[in-house]
Amino acid sequence: MDRNEFVRKADEKLKLVRTEYGFNQEKMADVLGISKKTLVQIEKGRSSLGWTGTVALCTIFERSEVLEAAFDGAAAEMVMTLAFQDAEPNYPKTMGGKVWWKTLEETAEYKLQQNIVSQHFRILDQHDRRILSSFELQAIKGQWEKLR
């Protein structure tokens, strides 16, 4: 699947996602950061979310059953794959969690940390580069077990 096909599929599911969440057109447009007129045009098949709008839709509504069904439960992963299709993301080095982070577990190669303000989690490598971050402890723990 390429970006165009991914965007086209998201366009087709937009109204179903809106309905799934019980939003009217005005609320959905506001959540996505587009005008109501643009939303109406997309729902009628006359316009498109485009790449940026599709990324917003898949990020904001990552738990949508409609999107899970449309993208085999992997919309966020597909976004990352398509975004970095020709390049591997190279996250910048962090400060290692000296200020806003609490280290939950640590090995010689990795650190599992939780942000003390937002409560989200991340895994850093031995060079303090982020490997993964999520608000979902289960997702982080699953990856942590694989790395250990």
CB 87 within 8 Å of CB 80: no
Q: Give residue 40's pLDDT.
A: 98
> In whole numbers, what is the pLDDT of the chain averaged over residues?
89
| Confidence bin at 24 (pLDDT 50/70/90) | very high
Give start and end residues of each alpha helix (H) in the chain.
Answer: 3-20, 25-32, 36-43, 50-60, 65-70, 75-83, 137-147
Q: How many CB atoms lie within 10 A of CB 89?
A: 8
pLDDT over 60 (residue 117) = yes
pLDDT band at residue 71 under the 50/70/90 scheme: confident
Residue 84 CA to residue 139 CA, distance in Å, equals: 21
pTM of the model: 0.62
As a whole-number percent, the residues of the chain with pLDDT over 70 amount to 95
* Domain locations along the chain: 3-83, 101-147
pLDDT at 124 over 80: yes
Reply yes or no on whether the pLDDT at 121 is more than 70: yes
Smallest CA-to-CA distance from 134 within 72, 63, 67 is with 63
Which H/E stretch holds residue 113? strand 110-115
pLDDT the model gives residue 104? 95
Distances from the Cα of 51 to the Cαs of 7, 57, 83, in angstroms?
Answer: 6, 10, 9
- Give yes or no for residue 65 having a pLDDT over 80: yes
Candidates 3.50.50.60, 3.90.550.10, 1.10.260.40, 3.40.605.10; CATH matching 3-83: 1.10.260.40
